[in-house]
Structure 1
């Protein structure tokens, strides 16, 4: 059971660090099927399954948030990354929409 499924994301989170205003903006979620061998290649399948179950994560799919940092000050805005567009997953490519 994934406890975050179905929660609406605002697309960004703003916060301050010293004199800087920062925003983490989501580009979407990258879905990776068949978790092994890309992740945890040296862990026995049963141990991985137990870990995922214990942490309420899906057993057959890994969902990774694609987040981009926007640094803002009085002089300029600096976008640290440009996201992946829809190249990695149909559920990515949300950066432009979430920048608005």
Structure 2
């Protein structure tokens, strides 16, 4: 529907995106950012949701990247270092899907 609307606009639309050239830089930034999230009380935030008792891992909001990994940590499925590793990997996978989507832009 949006593409139809865009084709009727009286001006040209240019899609712009900022994407890193060096994937290793992106991976390092992802790792740094995830660790900063954990240091910034992200585990406490998820623990608050976990302890409510009315939420579970089947909910889309809890399955989001980061939340899913911390939830597993709180359930005793992994230790802290595995939480970090799995969170970084999941974020890298999300970034890869996003970059693939960006490359599909006309």
TM-score, length-scaled by structure 2: 0.25
Larger radius of gyration: 2
Structure with more helix by fraction: 2
TM-score, length-scaled by structure 1: 0.26
The structure, 1 or 2, with the larger RCO (C-alpha pairs under 8 Å, 6+ apart) is 1
